Chains A and B, each alone.
Chain A
């Protein structure tokens, strides 16, 4: 258990660091773009809303940095992330609330599936080194060098159109009322298919390469030779001895790489106009909507931390050496 506790403490520290970066960035950088935006919208904002933006961006010059920090943390704990300018006058928290489920559904699920497929393919590629499986390597290298969003652009150009099965954008047919009925769910699936495949193609190749290299490394361990010497079936040696051990570094690599991957996948949402956090971030950048940008950064960081914690739990279940002896 101490392993998980340690990790948990680390994630708390990281979350705190992310919050602090968020606090410091607007204060360190000269110019008060937020002030300008507030001035423009002043007439339509309640005094509380203005107050909360003042706390978030350090516009109250009468407070010391320490005081600002205390107020800032207090406000975050209440879940107040300020008002969004793009979606005026919705609070940032509400805006993120509408985007988050779509992102978790699309990016979260495809990332996990991509990892699973890539690991499985990498297992075979590493095991059958020196055979046809080696041809996968140049292809996957090329694919993994393409930015996610560009692949999305190509997919749209090639596969969508007025007569196509695939819609070019959005998360569901306009005019449908969200709910748990077949028509809606079917439409959601149809709209997410192409973005999902785009993410899968780009992310799978990285996992194939790393799992293949781990398989090659693990295959020369003594216990794999012992497994062969025991006359076990090829399948059992590959799965229970080689892949089972090669998986461990891949899982920790997965946790570490999440921070990198999420950035790329969010971009796919932009290309497909998929109404998740990535699209909102894009809109926020375009409109210089700082409260929304910062809110999205915080939420993405927290989600990645949570995903990391889940990966740690998985690692714990996979590697007996991290479990407490007894």
Chain B
């Protein structure tokens, strides 16, 4: 981990978001929905991120909204990861038509555009809450990881130690749990992180077009109000910049973690290619000059 600065930075940033998700409502200086007479003020020491057209404190909105974002990301990530492991590993391990069928199922879900699908489902629900949104996202976004896991399982299945375990008559589920899953840890982790990123962006997007937890706050609802109150036309940049930056920083943190995992899985991406003034190049091996060595 120490040798992987990208993953470390990403994890630290994620830790900060999780802490804010837990403590946000206590840390927030105002009730995010509370109106006041400070209408549409730019950032100041009283209102760090300024106020809305109703005098609500945007800093508190963003802070309180973190919980919903982290919650939806985590729940959707877990649901999608569990599904993808079930479908992907099973379809990779089972030979024949059962495996093919499951693989076709994940391809179907992969090709159907996810966001419009999520929109028609969530907006048909009688009431929308963070949980239903998270479940909808989780249930519709497992296909990519299932596909990756299937490919990995297919190749693991042919490894010697798996063949050997099968030959000694170990039960299928024991082989899957003890021989195959441990080798998929990195892939599963990277799939989880990717899904969390997708879920977060989806939730915010949904909230931005008006589908969100009734009465709750998240970064997307902040942007929704900013957009519907023409914050831009009024020059109220502070209304949409903080929420957007929060998304970008969270997204970057998740991507960094995934880069770390990628480099761990694919060593070709890792090696430093220049050090001590020597640039390593494919096709032209450097020759160290006497002084440099």
A residues adjacent to B (C-beta < 8 A)? 10-11, 13-14, 17-18, 21-22, 25-26, 29-31, 33, 129-131, 141-142, 144-147, 149-150, 153-154, 156-157, 168, 213, 216-217, 219-220, 224-225, 227-229, 237, 256, 258-260, 262-264, 266-267, 270-271, 281-282, 285-286, 288, 290, 293-294, 296-297, 300-301, 304-305, 308
B211 touches A142 (CB 8 A): no
Binary flags per residue of B234-252, CB closer than 8 Å to A gives 1, else 0: 0001001101100111111
Q: Give the residues in chain B near A168, CB-CB below 8 Å.
A: 232
Interface positions of B from 173 to 229, Cβ below 8 Å from A:
197-198, 201-202, 204-205, 208-211, 223, 226-227
Q: Give the residues in chain B near A150, CB-CB below 8 Å.
A: 223, 240, 243-244, 247-248
Q: Does B283 contact A (CB under 8 A)?
A: yes
Q: Give the residues in chain A near B204, CB-CB below 8 Å.
A: 147
Q: Give the residues in chain B near A256, CB-CB below 8 Å.
A: 110-111, 144, 147
SS of B interface (majority): helix
Q: Does B22 contact A (CB under 8 A)?
A: no
- Top 5 A-B residue pairs of the complex, sorted by shortest distance between their CB atoms: A145-B251, A263-B115, A228-B283, A130-B273, A150-B244
How far is it, in angstroms, between the C-alpha of A145 and the C-alpha of B258 when the chains are bound? 13
A296 touches B223 (CB 8 A): no
How far is it, in angstroms, between the C-alpha of A294 and the C-alpha of B115 when the chains are bound? 13
B282 touches A145 (CB 8 A): no
A-B contact pairs, 11 of them (CB 8 A): A10-B107, A14-B111, A130-B272, A130-B280, A147-B205, A154-B241, A225-B283, A266-B115, A267-B208, A286-B209, A296-B116
How far is it, in angstroms, between the C-alpha of A169 and the C-alpha of B250 when the chains are bound? 29
A145 touches B197 (CB 8 A): yes
How far is it, in angstroms, between the C-alpha of A288 and the C-alpha of B108 when the chains are bound? 27
How far is it, in angstroms, between the C-alpha of A311 and the C-alpha of B176 when the chains are bound? 35
Q: Give the residues in chain A near B12, CB-CB below 8 Å.
A: none
How far is it, in angstroms, between the C-alpha of A300 and the C-alpha of B268 when the chains are bound? 38
Q: Does B114 contact A (CB under 8 A)?
A: yes
A88 to chain B minimum Cβ distance, whole angstroms, is 19
How far is it, in angstroms, between the C-alpha of A319 and the C-alpha of B259 when the chains are bound? 29
B residues adjacent to A (C-beta < 8 A)? 104, 107-108, 110-117, 119-121, 123-126, 144, 147, 197-198, 201-202, 204-205, 208-211, 223, 226-227, 232, 237, 240-241, 243-244, 247-252, 254-256, 259, 262, 266, 268-269, 272-274, 279-284
How far is it, in angstroms, between the C-alpha of A301 and the C-alpha of B115 when the chains are bound? 11
A267 touches B120 (CB 8 A): no
A305 touches B279 (CB 8 A): no
- Kindly report which residue of chain A lies nearest to residue B206, judged by CB atoms: A285
Q: Give the residues in chain A near B248, CB-CB below 8 Å.
A: 142, 145-146, 150
How far is it, in angstroms, between the C-alpha of A11 and the C-alpha of B112 when the chains are bound? 10
Are A13 and B104 CB-contacts (below 8 A) given A224-B282, A267-B205? Answer: yes
How far is it, in angstroms, between the C-alpha of A136 and the C-alpha of B198 when the chains are bound? 23
A308 touches B111 (CB 8 A): yes
Q: Give the residues in chain A near B227, CB-CB below 8 Å.
A: 153, 270-271
B111 to chain A minimum Cβ distance, whole angstroms, is 5
B124 touches A157 (CB 8 A): no
Are A145 and B123 CB-contacts (below 8 A) given A17-B108, A157-B232, A220-B268? Answer: no
Q: Give the residues in chain A near B119, CB-CB below 8 Å.
A: 281, 285, 293, 297
Given A259-B112, A263-B115, A290-B123, 10 further pairs, Cβ under 8 A = A130-B274, A130-B281, A145-B251, A153-B240, A154-B244, A262-B115, A262-B116, A294-B120, A301-B112, A304-B112
A145 touches B247 (CB 8 A): yes
B255 touches A144 (CB 8 A): yes
- Kindly report which residue of chain B lies nearest to residue A57, judged by CB atoms: B124
B268 touches A217 (CB 8 A): yes
B27 to chain A minimum Cβ distance, whole angstroms, is 24
How far is it, in angstroms, between the C-alpha of A296 and the C-alpha of B116 when the chains are bound? 8
Q: Give the residues in chain A near B251, CB-CB below 8 Å.
A: 144-146
Central interface residue in A10, A156, A259, A294, by most chain B CB within 10 Å? A259
Are A217 and B266 CB-contacts (below 8 A) given A14-B112, A297-B117? Answer: yes
Q: Give the residues in chain B near A270, CB-CB below 8 Å.
A: 208-209, 227
A301 to chain B minimum Cβ distance, whole angstroms, is 6
How far is it, in angstroms, between the C-alpha of A119 and the C-alpha of B104 when the chains are bound? 28
How far is it, in angstroms, between the C-alpha of A123 and the C-alpha of B232 when the chains are bound? 38
A145 touches B111 (CB 8 A): no
Partner of B252, one of A141, A290, A294: A141
How far is it, in angstroms, between the C-alpha of A117 and the C-alpha of B232 when the chains are bound? 30
Partner of A22, one of B104, B120, B125: B120
A18 touches B112 (CB 8 A): yes
Q: Give the residues in chain A near B259, CB-CB below 8 Å.
A: 141
- Kindly report which residue of chain A lies nearest to residue B122, judged by CB atoms: A285
A233 to chain B minimum Cβ distance, whole angstroms, is 11
Q: Give the residues in chain B near A33, CB-CB below 8 Å.
A: 124
A153 to chain B minimum Cβ distance, whole angstroms, is 5
- Kindly report which residue of chain A lies nearest to residue B211, judged by CB atoms: A285
Q: Give the residues in chain A near B104, CB-CB below 8 Å.
A: 10, 13
How far is it, in angstroms, between the C-alpha of A296 and the C-alpha of B113 when the chains are bound? 11
A264 touches B205 (CB 8 A): yes
A267 touches B110 (CB 8 A): no
- Kindly report which residue of chain B lies nearest to residue A259, judged by CB atoms: B113
B197 touches A263 (CB 8 A): no
How far is it, in angstroms, between the C-alpha of A27 and the C-alpha of B225 when the chains are bound? 32
How far is it, in angstroms, between the C-alpha of A301 and the C-alpha of B268 when the chains are bound? 37
Are A259 and B282 CB-contacts (below 8 A) given A285-B211, A293-B123? Answer: no
- Kindly report which residue of chain A lies nearest to residue B282, judged by CB atoms: A219
Q: Give the residues in chain A near B232, CB-CB below 8 Å.
A: 153, 156-157, 168
